[in-house]
Amino acid sequence: MLERENAVQAAALKSLETRLTATESKTSDLETENAERKVAFYTALTDSGTVGPFNTDITLKYSKVFTNIGDAYNPSTGFFTAPVRGVYYFQFTMCGNQAGYMGVQVHKNNQRIMWNNETKEEGGVEYLTNSVVLELMAGDEIHLVLPSGYSLVDTVNNHNTFSGSLLFTL
């Protein structure tokens, strides 16, 4: 009778061990998935003062990185690369202080999807802020472009910023 009871308990223990192994595996998968869902960045352009105007469009490289959770923003290239499929929120602020044009274009995978600009009749600081919500596939890239003939100004006060975050995965 004890041998039979031991055999039943051994079988129950084996079943519990199998379930524990499966649970640990699922927990590990969820931890990995949850880590991929943490995506947020906040950057500023430069300390160098006036940027532009240039004779050609240039990709803006926001080199001052304050937050880069998930390492999806690359300050060397100026590109944000979506790590997972999802809906993302991006915001940018630009500042100009010279007469002429100030503005930026938002590009997704090298295709312009938004152009924001302002014509300034005279000098003086002026700001423009905008945002966009985009559905992105893993690997899609977002970057900002300073159009030819346009200029911005930035200093240690971080007048030009670019930020984004993953709202939810799909």
Q: What are the pLDDT tens digits along the chain (170 aa)? A: 888 888 888 888 888 888 878 877 776 665 565 555 799 999 999 888 899 999 999 999 999 999 999 999 999 999 999 999 999 999 999 998 888 899 999 999 999 999 998 888 887 888 999 999 999 999 999 999 999 999 999 989 999 999 999 999 98
133 to 31, 87, 91, 163: CA distances (angstroms) = 26, 7, 9, 12
Q: What angle do CA 144, 75, 105 make, to 5 degrees?
A: 0
